[in-house]
Structures are given as structure tokens and as C-alpha cells.
Structure 1
């Protein structure tokens, strides 16, 4: 019986802006994952056979073939194979690129889950093909192989974004999309809720509420993650000092930068840079570890 009650995803690997943890499972009755505190990253799953159950305690969604489930950071959840079934699904833990967030706007929310059911068989087949490339290329890969995994995951997310817009009418509020585009270009600058709200003609309180509703994070959290995501890339690809990296992504205080980076990635910027080894960063790419 694969029953994991200690939040395996939270401690099984270190967050990395370019590392995707993915797998494909066929799990019989008895498989169960429970995460009352959620995870630090995003989790995306696609069921292509059998059936499972998502939710938390008694608030559950019965998951069948064609269902895509998205779980955002910090959202408590558990899931298990349904009685009499063998659950077949693919999954990926990841940190989204800023441009992906507006594509991950599923129209249906059930409890703390975002659920999308894909009816068309041709879309299911293409989605599964792309998802399997994510799994294949995320396994013990070097830098280039991880980039292939990232490209495949972007294809998955683009397919989902196109599907919701064509068939579900799921669109992010255009005002929030506008602000996300602006922040992705101006993340180094200092911003206030009032100034951002003014750009889209909303009151600060209405803007803050709508932003959280549409993205799952506050403005401060989103901007912080954008800066830290770019900082991780600088640490991976340059020899800039920690202080210079902090300055380049918009932190006036390198000690505060180190504290925030460590909180997100589980290690200091210096340790993160030293640990960059795409062949060993994923603890177990075989898919045998619980998702």
C-alpha cells in the first residue's frame, strides 16, 4: 500500500527554476498521498485511464480519464486511487514561467483544486504525448535535456490555455493579464499596489483582491517570485557575485535577498549555485517516488 502522509513532494527535492520533477504512474487501490500543508511548487496532473479521487478530507473530486487537475503552492490536498480502479496519470511539479500564469486559469474550481475536463480525444492524445516528453526529458538530464523538458511542459500549458479559451471560455481578467505583462518586464523596479491599480483604473483594494483571485498569489508574492526566478537563472548561468545578482533583480539589501531566496529554494544562493548539476538535482527520475 502506497500511503504517504508526510508531504513527500515538499522534502523530496530542492526547488530549482529549471528543474521539473515529473512522472507517469499506474497505481492500484491503496495508493494515497496526503499533504495538509500543500507544496512549495505547482502540481499539474492529467488522468488518461482508470480513476482517482482528489480533494481534502471529505471535500472530493472524482477524477476520471480526460481530467486535468492543477494544485497551486500552499493549497492543501490529498488524492488516492478509487475503489476497484487502476489509476493511470502523468504529473509534473514545477515553478511556472511568468508568461504561463494566465494560461493556467481553469474555469472550474472545486475546493482548493482547479479542474479541467477535456472531452476531445485528439486533444487528449496530443496532451498525453507532450506530457510524456516532459517525463522523458526530465529524467536525470543535463542542461539541454532539462530545457527540452521545459519546452515540452510549455507545450502542455499552451495546449491547456488554448483549450480553455476555445471550449471553456476560461480567460484571465484582461486587467490582471496587463499587469502581469508589465511586471514581467519591470520586475526590477519598485511598485506599489496603488500605482499598479491606477494603471488599470481600479481601486487598490479591488485590484489586490482581483489579482489574488486570478493568480493565486498576492502582488508582492508574484513580484518576489519573478525576481527570485530570474536570480536563479543568473546564479546558474553567470559568475556574478551574490550582491550583484541581488541588485540586478531589484533587491536593495543582499541579506534580505538571501533570506527570501533560501525560503523559496530551500538553500542559500551560494549553495544553490554550487549544487547546479542537472544530472543529480532530481532525486529519482524513474517515477518510483510518490508524486
Structure 2
């Protein structure tokens, strides 16, 4: 966990083409007012407690797991809710540094991140950003840009998300545990649903059953491994979660129209032809 900074170290907000980041734990006396706005954007990720943001007629509370994005030039006020503490990580960044047209075009956006995997990933990216910003080793600035870009893309992804957050979490678990035996009962427990309810909501959101979706993931990964690695078809079958090669071969042929070994040969031949063509 990154060390906590003092707000007094960051009195002025950034100038053009500047990126700064930090980690605050502040009491309810903490407050920042900028009636004229500022030239950069501000993004925060609340770790604990409650903060608030005000701009125009909006007054939002940010709680644990919320990402808040404040657009440049928007008059604003933010701080800790009365009677609370607020622990959050943050970054200021100039709009000249990043394309921001994939983010919602609003002065203030507050996004609860329900998916535990996405929440952890945002937190980890912030920690890398803060660490590189503090250490200032060679290429620190480029590393900061990479971490911040990842955060902003995850936020944009969340803004466009239409999936039920619980189904998003199941898809992550399926991809992470693709090689293992999958229990719908255990998946349902992980996301707080009954097995029957999970099956219904999953198909409603994704269009396929959980098992069919897992099968597609496995076969897609198998095709990539056959094409781009030296692994044999039987090794690939085991790698993506099939214990029975014949069962794998039948499902692979059904999806791709050829047996796994033939698919590998065809892809290898295509690569040779393309190489000679160059």
C-alpha cells in the first residue's frame, strides 16, 4: 500500500502538460474550492470513508469503490463529508496528455465499481502511478502515463458497460479459471445469486448459457495456441481445460470445421505462404 501524503504538499494544481498523483486520508475539515475551475482533469478512487463533489447543481457523495472524474474548466468544490474521514487516491492530468473523447462528456461523473476484479485493477494501477511519480526513476513519466491510461480506459469501459455487474464478474471468473472444472453452484455463491437465478440472468445478458460461453472461451484460446505456439493439439486440449482429447477434437471440429491437428497445419502453411509473399 502506498504511503499517505499530506494535502499541504499539493497546494497548487498542475500547469499544462503536467501529471501528478497522490494518496490522501483526510478529516472533515478538508475542503477545496475552485470557483473558476482548473485547466486539468481530476480523477479520484475512494478507498474508505466518504467524500463529496459539487459542481453546478450537482452534489455527489463518493464512497468506497467509487471513481469520480472531474472535467477541466468546471467550477467545483470537493472535500470530506461532515463527521467522516475520506481516504482516496487521485491524479490530476492535463487534457493535452490524453485523448479524453472516450470519456463521458460531463463536468462530473461518479461511477461505483461493483466488479471486484475491476476495482482491484484500478487500485493497483493507481498504486503503480503514485509509486512511479514519487520515485522519479528513468522513464518514470512514461510509466505514469501508462498507468493513468489504463485507469481511464477501465473507467471508459465501465461507463459503456451494459452487463449486469454480477455477470461481468462471472465472465472474469470463467476466463481466469478456464482450465478448471466450473461449478455453477460455486459461481452463484461468488456473486450472491441462486444457481437458477444466475443461469437465467447470465443468458439474459450474454445470450448463451454459462457452459456454452465457457466452451467458446476454451475453443477460442485453443485456436490461438495452435496457431501461435509449438504445442501439440493434445497439449493444447489439456491447457484449455479438456481432460479428454477426443471430446475436445469433436467440439473443435464443430466450431472450426477441421480437426485441431489439421487446423494447426493449415495455419502453419498460411504463415509460410505469407512469409514467402513478403
TM-score relative to the length of structure 2: 0.51
CA distance in 1, matches of 2:60, 2:46: 13
Consecutive unaligned residues of structure 2, counting only runs of 5 or more, are 1-5, 165-278
Does residue 119 (structure 1) correspond to residue 114 (structure 2)? The answer is yes
Consecutive unaligned residues of structure 1, counting only runs of 5 or more, are 170-291
Q: Secondary structure at the match of 1:55?
A: strand
CA distance in 2, matches of 1:36, 1:74: 10
Q: Which residue of 2 aligns with 1:15?
A: 16
CA distance in 2, matches of 1:34, 1:54: 10
CA distance in 2, matches of 1:39, 1:92: 14
Q: Which residue of 1 aligns with 2:159?
A: 164
Contact 1:46 1:90 (8 Å CA) reproduced? yes
Q: Which residue of 2 aligns with 1:49?
A: 48
> Aligned pair in 2 of structure 1 residues 168, 67: CA closer, same or farther (>3 Å)?
farther
Contact 2:56 2:75 (8 Å CA) reproduced? no
Q: Which residue of 2 aligns with 1:182?
A: none
Q: Which residue of 2 aligns with 1:64?
A: 63
Shift of 1:164: 2.1
What do the CA deviations read for 1:92-116 (whole angstroms, capped 9, x no partner)? 111246763133227xx5xx41222
Larger radius of gyration: 2
> Aligned pair in 2 of structure 1 residues 40, 168: CA closer, same or farther (>3 Å)?
farther
Where in structure 1 do 4 or more consecutive aligned residues deviate above 3 Å?
A: 7-10, 56-59, 96-100
What do the CA deviations read for 1:262-283 (whole angstroms, capped 9, x no partner)? xxxxxxxxxxxxxxxxxxxxxx
Shift of 1:144: 0.3
Contact 2:15 2:94 (8 Å CA) reproduced? no
Q: Which residue of 1 aligns with 2:27?
A: 28
Shift of 1:156: 0.6
CA distance in 1, matches of 2:125, 2:7: 29
What do the CA deviations read for 1:6-35 (whole angstroms, capped 9, x no partner)? x9444xx4332xx41100111111111111
Q: How does 1:137-176 map to 2 (within 5 A)?
A: 137-139=132-134, 141-142=136-137, 144-167=139-162
